Amino acid sequence: MKIVIAGAGIGGLTAAMCLHRAGFEVDVLEAVGELRPLGVGINIQAGAVRILSDLGLEPALAASGIETRELRYANRHGQTIWADPRGRHAGLPWPQFSIHRGELQMILFDAARRTLGDDRIRFGRRIAGFEQKGDRVLARFVDRDGKTVEQAEGDILIGADGIHSTVRAHFYPDEGPPKWQGILMWRGVTVGKPFLGGATMVQAGHHTQKFVCYPISRRHAERGESLINWICDLHMGEQAMLPREDWNRPGKLEDFLPRFKDWKFEWLDVPEVIGAAHAIYEFPMVDRDPLPRWSHGRITLLGDAAHPMYPIGSNGASQAIIDGEAIAQELSAGVDPEAALQRYDARRRPPMARIVESNRRKGIDIMLDLVEQRAPQGFADLETVLPANELEKIVAEYKTLASQDRETLLKLAAARA
């Protein structure tokens, strides 16, 4: 069986390697002319690291990123609301990694090129159209100028072509642009001093004003430094005009830094970290509505093409990686490709829809809003503000929703053993 994948992002490359390992012939075609290590930081949950580890990539991830020890939620005064050990520090068989997105992309690309062969991953090819003919799919790929450069034929087509997916738009032509609820994000990386032990991810503030930070570079850590990935979220109002979506759009300090000028915690000077960034990028926080189906005959969707979501709970990339394993498993389980894609759809689409909808309702971040509403000036005793049983319920429900709970992950480990 030959499988054509449109898109060489995190999900597309992971799927390609999982499918190749399962014995399928795979071609990956990517729109950009050259893959480069762009972007800022990203988190890969233990459940997704399990898959990358099975592909032999854990040593490369460990050499590049930081093995996350703890996730900490805090109010806008820097007071801890909740702290949770992560990965192996929580007794799981796999770590959680915080890593530069571009470095993760290159780790996946290098591994996929070794696994599939250089000729199986081709660049400068944007999917422009496709059709199903009996038991085959014929896809047309074009260059930047719209000139057809390749016609790829296979038994299955996987659209892993991102939030602006051409494959998705073919089946849902009236969907329109991504959904925006008024939150702008400014992102950057800063070389600074290690904070909270040098392996902690922090989310501080509340829904309308939040600061996220975590270290992403082992090389910097070995020099006694910390390469800090940071994100500032501000709610601009749902009536504000949606800015152009472009990760390369430069951000301006004056547009957001004044709102964070007093965020000087005992463990981190937030305005100092922001001000020391070598570059700042602005991007609207967007998603799309869940779809009634991903799979249409011998064509399906994966990753951000299937379920773009707000970056809450570190789910976007991790769930795309899990998609890649799931589709390989379902295609390996039976001889009928269309039935396999329907099983993949039934297995992955409903839980992804629940995560998308939960993240729109703030997901696990709801704890931040509750503390801000009940104790805007800070607290002396968290129990009087957010009782332990209420907090534990929020955490447990979200972990279960995203399959990040300990019981699910340990079952996966036992099944693999």
Q: What percent of the chain stands above pLDDT 70?
A: 95
Residues in the chain: 417
Buried-state track 333-359, b at ≥16 Cβ within 10 A, e below 16: eeeebbebbbbbbeebbeebbebbebb
Q: CA torsion sign, 264 to 270 to 271 to 275?
A: positive
Alpha-carbon span 352 to 31, nearest angstrom? 26
Q: Which of 19-28, 130-139, 349-358, 398-407 has the lowest mean pLDDT?
A: 398-407
pLDDT score at 246:
67
Nearest CA to 231 out of 215, 213, 247 is that of: 213
pLDDT above 80 (res 406): no
For 51-79, write each residue's pLDDT tens digit: 999 999 999 999 999 999 999 999 999 99
Q: Which CATH class is domain 2-43+59-64+100-177+288-360?
A: alpha beta
Nearest CA to 92 out of 48, 131, 30 is that of: 48
pLDDT above 90 (res 412): no
DSSP string, 327-378: HHHHHHT-S-HHHHHHHHHHHHHHHHHHHHHHHHTTGGGHHHHHHHHH-TT-
Q: Which of 107-116, 120-129, 266-275, 356-365 has the lowest mean pLDDT?
A: 356-365
Buried-state track 189-219, b at ≥16 Cβ within 10 A, e below 16: bbebeebbeebbbbbbbbbebbbbbbbbbbe
pLDDT above 70 (res 231): yes
Q: Write phi, then psi, for 253 (nearest 5 degrees).
A: -55, -40
For 42-53, write each residue's pLDDT tens digit: 999 999 999 999
Alpha-carbon span 292 to 290, nearest angstrom? 7
Nearest CA to 210 out of 235, 242, 243 is that of: 235
pLDDT above 80 (res 285): yes
pTM for this one? 0.94
Q: What average pLDDT is seen over the chain?
A: 93
Q: How far is CA 365 from the centre of its chain?
A: 16
Q: Which of 109-113, 189-193, 268-272, 360-364 has the lowest mean pLDDT?
A: 360-364
**Termini Cα distance of the chain:** 28
pLDDT score at 408:
75
Q: Return the domain boundaries, the chain.
A: 2-43+59-64+100-177+288-360
pLDDT higher for 127 or 401? Answer: 127
pLDDT above 90 (res 39): no
For 303-320, write each residue's pLDDT tens digit: 999 999 998 877 889 999
